[in-house]
A = this chain, B = another copy of it.
């Protein structure tokens, strides 16, 4: 099933949308957070009648199982360039799963002064990086949807780890499908946690919040994105994970930051 199908929403009356959280988009039984965000953002973009999330934030409220969900969207302001929309996704049992707040625009109209003081992450060619294949447990079923190729230095699955809380690699859909700006939201939450590489006694860092800024819409049909995720601050019971997604022409597509909980050591 394509991402377009897995993230599809249907109008169900005044600001209300329905969707189906698909099986095998999960990690340990709970749907991937970036996927949940993408479904809420799909509904929000349609409500706004603007295709691209310039900035969108999700707070994750409860683990989501496969099945029907409802998304209640509310337009807070429809301006000249941006429409700001908030949304809550609820399970069939009425349990709130995720809340989002985002400003939507048409990025094709964006332009301005340019200055970038950063480089795309250095990655070996795709064929020299390490694929991550789905299993029923770990690596999770979600890996059947996204095609990852990890930097060999950052591949901590079961083997020795780098000691550095960083994950770099390539991303694209498994299906031969173009990546839109809603799909970029999945890419910001698709890689293994940075902390897997940090040699710390932490196995599970649930995400509280995820914010993504999208700068450009991907322009090719099924291109690989060059991605890097880093953590500098594991402190106070939290860690941040900062993501950068670049296209293969050296343009920053999106930046993300998430706040995750670090269990007591």
Closest Cβ of chain B to A242, distance in Å, is 9
Decide yes or no whether A150 CB sits under 8 A from chain B. Answer: no
Q: Complex: how many Å from CA A117 to CA B240?
A: 12
Size range of the chain A interface in the assembly: 35 or more
With CB as the reference atom, state the residue of chain B lying closest to A166: B117
Asked if A77 meets B55 with Cβ closer than 8 Å, knowing A112-B237, A233-B255, the reply is: no
Contact with B along A238-258 (1 / 0, CB 8 A): 101000000000011001010
Closest Cβ of chain B to A166, distance in Å, is 9
Set of chain B residues within 8 Å of A76, measured between Cβ atoms: 59, 61, 88, 96, 99
Q: Complex: how many Å from CA A236 to CA B246?
A: 13
Q: Is the pair A211, B208 in contact by a Cβ cutoff of 8 Å?
A: no
Decide yes or no whether A107 CB sits under 8 A from chain B. Answer: yes
Name A210-227 residues within 8 Å CB distance of B: 211, 213, 215-216
Set of chain B residues within 8 Å of A110, measured between Cβ atoms: 236-238
Q: Is the pair A201, B113 in contact by a Cβ cutoff of 8 Å?
A: yes
Asked if A112 meets B262 with Cβ closer than 8 Å, knowing A77-B96, A257-B211, the reply is: yes
Closest Cβ of chain B to A132, distance in Å, is 25
Q: Which of A208, A252, A265 has the most CB of B within 10 A?
A: A208
Q: Is the pair B265, A113 in contact by a Cβ cutoff of 8 Å?
A: yes
Set of chain B residues within 8 Å of A238, measured between Cβ atoms: 54, 110, 112, 213, 215
Q: Complex: how many Å from CA A198 to CA B54?
A: 23
Q: Which of A62, A114, A201, A263 has the most CB of B within 10 A?
A: A114
Q: Is the pair B117, A232 in contact by a Cβ cutoff of 8 Å?
A: yes
Decide yes or no whether A1 CB sits under 8 A from chain B. Answer: no
Set of chain B residues within 8 Å of A261, measured between Cβ atoms: 112
Among B79, B201, B235, contact of A116 (Cβ-Cβ < 8 Å): B235
Set of chain B residues within 8 Å of A59, measured between Cβ atoms: 55, 76, 84, 101-103
Q: Which 7 A-B pairs have the closest CB atoms?
A: A110-B237, A215-B236, A112-B262, A113-B265, A112-B237, A55-B209, A101-B101
